[in-house]
Structure 1
């Protein structure tokens, strides 16, 4: 697989400021880093972004994310390795990533479950995390970012 072009962030460096601000905002939101990584992995799985998945998998040891959780992300509802807060975050990630798949993409019941586990700032960070990783996925899939040569690849 070869890239169609350089990553747009390299072509238009000004865009890096916006992306950097989004990442900083998510970090300031108070979510556990393991939760943001699990969400990023699930979003990237749904969108088929191999470059993003490679980047996230290289961070697992650094943030203390167990292989049991990573393997179970796609089946988080049935997996015993996730707590209720993580399951709510992952369910929201799926719903937001698949907006067009349902008439009510983010039903009130799901929203109540998320806000039961996360305060307003954490919920805001979660929404921004999901949206940011969908942005990364859409860019990388479009330009066919090569996971073996991506700057963050191990």
Structure 2
């Protein structure tokens, strides 16, 4: 079975994705989004995509930034809990919409909690995170204790 490690097979493309990731992170910061909210988006997108490598990395990053175990435990069902702010709920809904690409329905994230720049930052972060997840899952990045 062929499972090429994409980061090694086309290193220039990998470098471009890394540069895009850095650009998107800077735009998110300029938009006023909290770093912890961005980590929640990365974790939720990784949950939806089943990417263990990115889940471990971004969960560790979120904990380092002060995220609680309780919020991380309910992130997969964020809409059923009262742990998340309106802005976080909007960002998570937007990230899910972009990741799952459902049949068009009312935009449950578009409630005024995010500015246009913040919505664009979350959207770009989701696009990049989906790319990282697909790269890691396809390449079978090792995830061991």
Q: Give the conservation status (yes or no) of the 8 Å contact 2:21–2:125.
A: no
Aligned residues: 141
Structure 1 runs of 4+ aligned residues shifted over 6 Å read none
Cα offset, 1:4, TM superposition: 3.3
Find the partner of 2:58 among 56, 59, 65.
56
Could you give the per-residue CA deviations for residues 4-60 of structure 1, whole angstroms, max 9, x where no partner exists?
Answer: 343426741442333332333333332111111111111000000000001012113
Q: Which residue of 1 aligns with 2:48?
A: 46
Counterpart of 1:145 in structure 2 is 141
Q: Is residue 91–residue 110 contact of structure 1 (8 Å, CA) maintained in 2?
A: yes
Of 110, 113, 129, which residue of structure 2 is paired with 1:112?
110
Q: Which residue of 2 aligns with 1:125?
A: 121
Structure 1 unmatched runs, 5+? 149-153
**1:61 CA displacement:** 2.9
CA contact (8 A) 1:51 1:146 kept: yes
Question: In 2, Cα distance between the equivalents of 1:41 and 1:66?
Answer: 14
Paired with 2:23 and 2:110, the residues of 1 have a C-alpha distance of: 28
* 2:103 counterpart of 1:103: yes
Q: What residue number does 1:4 align with?
A: 3
- Residue 84 of structure 2 corresponds to 82
TM-score, length-scaled by structure 2: 0.84
Where do 5+ consecutive residues of structure 2 fail to align? Answer: none
Equivalent residue number for residue 151 of structure 1: none
Contact 1:47 1:137 in 2 (8 A): yes
Deviation at 1:72, TM superposition (A): 0.7
Q: Could you say what the CA RMSD is over the residues aligned between the two structures, in angstroms?
A: 2.2
**2:90 touches 2:110 (CA, 8 Å); kept in 1?**
no
My pick for the range that moved more, 39-48 or 12-21, is 12-21
